[in-house]
Amino acid sequence: MIPTSGGNNWGTSRLSPCFHNAVAHVFVWNGETGKLADKGSFLARTEPSDTDRFPTTAAGGYEATLTQHNGHAALRLQPTDRIPITNGANPAHPDRDYATGILVHIAGLDNATGMTRAGGGISEGCVLVCRSQYSGFLDAVGATANPPQRHFGVMLSANPNMQSGVEKEDDDLP
Amino acid sequence: MKHIWVKLAIVVVWSVGVRAQTCREITAAAELARAKSLAALRDASRDAGNDYRLHLIRAFRSFQLQPRSKEAAARLLSMVPGDDAQQKIVLTLGDSLCDSESAADMKALAQVNERFARELATAVLIVPSLLPRYLAYSTIAVQDPHSDYAVEMERVCRAFGPMFTRALGELPEDKIRVFTTQVMKADACQPIAIPESDQ
């Protein structure tokens, strides 16, 4: 069951299918009320571009900070130097059982999630947000505010109804 | 499920308190990163403070403003992160680091992070004696999936040729192993660690 709390943005898209396997729930810390406010849920992909080469970020709750990725607003999962992964060892750095520098950021051009021509990945461990949902994601993180500082929480939920790599965003409209 | 929310809330509340202390330093750091001249950099440095982040950005900007200066190049190379705490500072330069940080300050500091690998590569070409230090940091830098350190290192490898291989051989054995399996195929100057990109 896909969660429906907060500002969901399951909008239709003319983009290529978004290959997702998870939902990223975004929360913002409200300094006045002392509570976490639910800002929305976004279709996401936790599986990297090549699972044999890169780590997969574990589902769960994270603190997060606003950052940028290739000029786009993104969230950095914390603690950024020790992000838990589902792999026993990090495929990119086999001497480690965690990942570093993991962001929640927009998927590649036309929702691409695979390897790039340069030989890297669209995701080398980062969580990708489907392109059709990115404007909602921007609203959720308040990236256009100045100053933009927000204190975030991100809950990554792997969704049992999502078969990784086979569904379109439109198929998941509640 | 509920205990996860409570834990998340505690962590966020704690971090709000910690970050509030660093705001003045972040503003000062952004001013250093934006300095248009060495004189402006000196002015901005006067009241900037003394922590690693500020030293790093001062050295970075100073080299950018005088890219042929051996002294500036050596100073920048001396600032490569020496431990996890310093690496974390480099990694998060583009993050929103304090409550009153403006979007412009975030952008100015993000550019330091984005251009760090390129400037270090340029710097080491001017100061070859610091090649071992430059090489040693590569195994740390590429742990960030967005790092273009290995890609920038390709021109260093090609420029130095056998000297590059000799300097690599001077690293501790475990560093050499990580370098040759995770950073670069040194014999071909071919980067292994390619950063994430959009396409």
- A103-106 and A127-129 beta bridge pairing: parallel
pLDDT confidence of residue A11: 41
Average pLDDT value for chain B: 90
Which of A4-18, A25-39, B8-22, B39-53 reaches the highest mean pLDDT?
B39-53
Tell me the pLDDT band of A112, cut-offs 50, 70 and 90: confident
**8 A C-beta contact, residue B124 and residue B134:** yes
On the question of pLDDT at A36 being above 90, the answer is: no
On the question of pLDDT at A81 being above 90, the answer is: yes
Question: Do residues B152 and B102 both lie within one domain?
Answer: no
* Residue from A48, A72, A15 nearest A122 by CA: A48
C-alpha to C-alpha distance for B131 and B157, rounded to whole angstroms: 10
pLDDT confidence of residue A9: 36
pLDDT confidence of residue A172: 39
3-state SS class at B184: strand
Q: Counting beta carbons within 10 angstroms of the beta carbon of residue A1, is it exposed (0 to 12), middle (13 to 18) or buried (19 or more)?
A: exposed
> Interface of chain B against chain A, CB under 8 Å?
4-5, 7-9, 11-13, 15-16, 84, 87-88, 91-92, 94-103, 106-107, 110, 143-147, 178, 182, 193-199
The CA-CA-CA angle for residues B112, B132, A120, to 5°, reads 55
Q: What counts of helices (H) and strands (E) characterise chain B?
A: 11, 2
Question: Do residues B196 and B105 both lie within one domain?
Answer: no
Domain range holding B117? 23-126
* Residue from A109, A105, A120 nearest A49 by CA: A120
Average pLDDT over residues A23-46: 85
pLDDT confidence of residue A167: 40
Question: Do residues B157 and B92 both lie within one domain?
Answer: no
Q: Encoding tokens for residue A44?
A: 């996401």
User: Among A49-58, A135-144, B119-128, whose mean pLDDT is lowest?
Assistant: A135-144
H/E/C letters for each residue in chain A? CCCCCCCCCCCCCCCCCCCCCEEEEEEEEECCCCEEEEEEEEEEECCCCCCCCCCCECCEEEEEEEEEECCEEEEEEECCCCEEECCCCECCECCCCEECCCEEEECCHHHCCCECCCCCECCCCCEEECHHHHHHHHHHHCCCCCCCCCCEEEEEEECCCCCCCCCCHHHHCC
Quick check: A116 and B194 CB within 8 A? yes
Tell me the pLDDT band of A16, cut-offs 50, 70 and 90: confident
Would B16 be classed as within a structural domain?
no
* Entry pTM: 0.86
Question: Do residues B39 and B67 both lie within one domain?
Answer: yes
C-alpha to C-alpha distance for A11 and B84, rounded to whole angstroms: 41
Question: Do residues B114 and B46 both lie within one domain?
Answer: yes
Instruction: Name which residue leads in pLDDT, A160 or A134.
Output: A134
Quick check: A69 and B146 CB within 8 A? yes
Question: Do residues B148 and B96 both lie within one domain?
Answer: no
Tallying the residues shown for chain B, one arrives at: 199
Would B160 be classed as within a structural domain?
yes
**8 A C-beta contact, residue A44 and residue A38:** no
> Which of B126, B146, B166 is the last residue before a domain boundary?
B126
3-state SS class at B191: strand
Would B67 be classed as within a structural domain?
yes
Question: Do residues B133 and B115 both lie within one domain?
Answer: no
Would B9 be classed as within a structural domain?
no
- pLDDT 10s digits, B18-58: 444 478 889 999 999 999 999 999 999 987 778 999 999 99
Please measure the distance between the N-terminal and C-terminal CA atoms of chain A and give it in whole angstroms. Answer: 9
Would B104 be classed as within a structural domain?
yes
Question: Do residues B121 and B138 both lie within one domain?
Answer: no
Question: Do residues B73 and B164 both lie within one domain?
Answer: no
Average pLDDT value for chain A: 81
Which of B18, B22, B96, B148 has the most A C-beta neighbours within 10 Å, making it the best mutation to test the interface with A?
B96
Would B4 be classed as within a structural domain?
no
pLDDT confidence of residue A118: 87
pLDDT confidence of residue A32: 66
Quick check: A116 and B197 CB within 8 A? yes
Question: Do residues B28 and B122 both lie within one domain?
Answer: yes
Would B138 be classed as within a structural domain?
yes
- A72-78 and A60-69 beta bridge pairing: antiparallel
pLDDT confidence of residue B7: 54
Q: Render each residue's pLDDT in chain B as its tens digit; 199 residues.
A: 555 555 555 445 545 544 444 788 899 999 999 999 999 999 999 877 789 999 999 999 999 999 999 999 999 999 999 998 999 999 999 998 888 888 899 999 999 999 999 999 999 999 999 999 999 999 999 999 999 999 999 999 999 999 999 999 999 999 999 999 999 999 999 999 999 987 7
Separation in Å, CA B6 to CA A145, B13, B17: 27, 11, 17
Average pLDDT over residues A150-168: 68
B7 chain-A contacts, CB cut-off 8 A: 61
B91 chain-A contacts, CB cut-off 8 A: 80-81, 100-101
Task: Provide the number of structural domains found in chain B.
Answer: 2
C-alpha to C-alpha distance for A45 and A48, rounded to whole angstroms: 8
Question: Do residues B145 and B95 both lie within one domain?
Answer: no
Instruction: Provide the 10 A C-beta neighbour count for residue A86.
Output: 13
C-alpha to C-alpha distance for A26 and A6, rounded to whole angstroms: 9
pLDDT confidence of residue A169: 45
Tallying the residues shown for chain A, one arrives at: 174
On the question of pLDDT at A130 being above 60, the answer is: yes
Question: Do residues B33 and B115 both lie within one domain?
Answer: yes
